[in-house]
Amino acid sequence: MSEFQDYFLNVTLFKHQLIILSRYEIYPIPEELQANRDITVKILDGNDEKTFTGCHIDITKHRRLRLPLEVMMWVKKEFPFSAAYFMNESAKSIWKKEDRKVFFKTIQYGEQLETPAETLLLSWVTGEQPYLYLKVGFQIKKDNAAKVLSAKAMSTVLPYIFSSVQNTSYMASKNDGRKCYIIDFATPWISASDYDSTAFYHPGIYLLRRKEQGQYFYYVGKAADIKNRIVTDKKAIFHPQEKGEENKQYDDICCVSINMDSIKSLYGALDDSTKTPNNNPGVVGGSDIDNALYAVEDLVIHTISMILKSEGKKLDNIQYRKYTSEVLQR
Running DSSP on this structure, what letter comes out for residue 67? P
**What is the pLDDT, as a whole number, of residue 36?**
54
Reduce the DSSP state of residue 99 to 3 states and report it: helix
**Collapsed DSSP state (helix, strand, coil) of residue 266:** helix
Nearest CA-CA partner of 147 in 115, 114, 110, 101: 110
Q: State the Cα–Cα distance between residues 134 and 3, nearest whole angstrom.
A: 12
Give the whole-angstrom CA distance, residue 74 versus residue 70: 6
Residue 62 CB burial class (10 angstroms; 0-12, 13-18, ≥19): middle
pLDDT value at residue 267? 55
Amino acid at 60: T
pLDDT of residue 294: 64
Question: What separation in angstroms does the CA of 67 have from each of 55, 201, 222, 240, 325?
Answer: 6, 16, 26, 26, 22
- Supply the pLDDT for residue 172: 37
Residue-by-residue pLDDT tens, the chain, 330 positions: 778 888 999 988 888 888 888 775 566 666 666 655 678 889 998 888 888 887 888 767 778 888 887 888 888 888 877 887 787 777 788 878 888 889 999 999 989 988 888 999 998 887 777 788 999 999 988 778 878 888 877 776 666 554 443 333 333 344 444 455 667 777 888 898 888 877 777 788 888 888 888 778 888 888 878 888 899 988 899 998 888 888 889 999 988 887 766 666 655 554 555 555 444 443 445 566 566 556 666 777 777 777 777 777 666 555 555 556 665 655
Instruction: List 7's β-bridge partners, or say none.
Output: 120
Instruction: Give the pairing type, strands 119-125 and 215-223.
Output: unpaired
Distance CA 37, CA 232 (A): 23
